[in-house]
Amino acid sequence: MKNTCLVATLFTTTLSVQALPKCPQPEVMERTMAPPNVAKAPYHNTLNRFITWLPNYHMIHDEVTPSGQPVTVTAKFDYGSIAHKDLEFETVHFYLRGEHDADWQFIAQAITNHDGKASVSLPPLTAGQYRLYAAVPADGSGTQGFLSVIDPNTPAVLFDIDGTLTESDAEQIGDYTGIKRAEPKEAAYALVRRYIDLGYQPIYLTARVYWYAKGTRSWLSWMNLPQGYLRTSLSNETSLFRTAEYKTAQINQLKAKGLNIVRAYGNAKTDAQAFINSGLGASNSFTIGEEAGHFGTSAILGNSYREHITQEVDTFPPAQCE
């Protein structure tokens, strides 16, 4: 009897160890979801009525979190394409929608701080892709974001955006002002889509400052790419002067939460430095453009991903997930 129990215990333990993480679901990330119905309410801070006629640049900081652990999500509320005036001390509402939910679920209300930020704590959730919405009841504006709840060792591929998926770093200006869409680098769509088809979670890590998040999401949708996890920087200082440190810290945090980043793509010296310093490895870190190969990263020659896809991606093994 003891031997039978021992065998059963070992069998169960083996199954647990061998259990594969849940695969990302691009169809869930790509799904268009109308915002929740939010009842209009009076301003908590009446002074805010003088800025809310400006265009808004609200954003949610996407999060990756292990399944079964609570997580805190932060949104930032901002008005004006030049001034970027924070929405201070105003009531906001948070909503959550899982991949199988028929509608948005109200989570909590909060008051923004002097930086226009508000946070909400979520209970432990099962692995899957979740959508978040943060609303300003006083003027009806709001913004969507993503929460990826993952199993341990979830396989992922990381992408910089400017100069990596777009043709150059400067294209973000035209995209932000609405003058023209940023031109994608040749075969950039095929590169990202191929990894998604292989079962890898897409991670977009950019030094674009937070108010570019809205336009970046729009650009990814225009490219017909699932938005997945998008992380922007919190300040111009970080974007301009501490890019490598910022990206290194972000990659280390993602790894600590259970992501297995098997490959990363960038174009700048700061990308290369972050990839190597965070331990991704030179053979798994690819750089394209004038600084390709910096810090020992694997250089993609030319200005196209076509040959790289044929040689390095089509032969890459599918993600170990289910």
CATH of the domain at 180: 3.40.50.1000
Q: Look at residue 242 and tell me whether its pLDDT is greater than 60.
A: yes
Q: Residue 261's pLDDT band (boundaries 50, 70, 90)? A: very high
pLDDT for position 4: 38
Domain containing residue 232: 154-313
Six token digits for residue 15: 């199954």
75 part of a folded domain: yes
Q: Look at residue 9 and tell me whether its pLDDT is greater than 50.
A: no
pLDDT for position 13: 40
Domain boundary, last residue among 150, 176, 195: 150
Q: Residue 10's pLDDT band (boundaries 50, 70, 90)? A: very low
Mean pLDDT of 294-314: 96
Q: Are 200 and 157 a contacting pair, CB within 8 Å?
A: yes
Q: Look at residue 237 and tell me whether its pLDDT is greater than 70.
A: no
111 part of a folded domain: yes
| pLDDT tens digits, one per residue of 110-142 | 999 999 999 999 999 999 999 999 999 999 999
- On whether both 134 and 251 belong to a single domain, the answer is no
> Which are the contacts of 208, defined by CB distance < 8 A and separation ≥ 6?
161, 162, 172, 216, 232, 233, 239
pLDDT for position 8: 36
> Which are the contacts of 305, defined by CB distance < 8 A and separation ≥ 6?
185, 186, 187, 188, 190, 191, 288
pLDDT for position 113: 97
What are φ and ψ of residue 39, in 5° steps? -70, 135
CATH of the domain at 44: 2.60.40.10
Average pLDDT over the chain, rounded to an integer: 89
- On whether both 76 and 144 belong to a single domain, the answer is yes
SS3 205: strand
Full-model pTM:
0.89
pLDDT for position 214: 87
- On whether both 112 and 166 belong to a single domain, the answer is no
| pLDDT tens digits, one per residue of 165-187 | 999 765 555 555 555 688 999 99
- On whether both 56 and 164 belong to a single domain, the answer is no
| pLDDT tens digits, one per residue of 188-213 | 999 999 999 999 999 999 988 888 88
Closest C-alpha to 76, from 61, 65, 66, 89: 61
Q: Residue 1's pLDDT band (boundaries 50, 70, 90)? A: very low
- On whether both 166 and 268 belong to a single domain, the answer is yes
322 part of a folded domain: no
Number of domains making up the chain? 2
Q: Are 146 and 249 a contacting pair, CB within 8 Å?
A: no
271 part of a folded domain: yes
- On whether both 305 and 170 belong to a single domain, the answer is yes
92 part of a folded domain: yes
Q: In what order do the strands lie in the sheet with 128-136?
A: 63-66, 141-150, 128-136, 91-97, 105-111
pLDDT for position 78: 94
pLDDT for position 103: 95
- On whether both 134 and 281 belong to a single domain, the answer is no
Domain boundary, last residue among 122, 150, 178: 150
Q: Residue 44's pLDDT band (boundaries 50, 70, 90)? A: very high
pLDDT for position 227: 78
Domain boundary, last residue among 150, 172, 204: 150
Looking at residue 227, the DSSP 8-state letter turns out to be -
265 part of a folded domain: yes
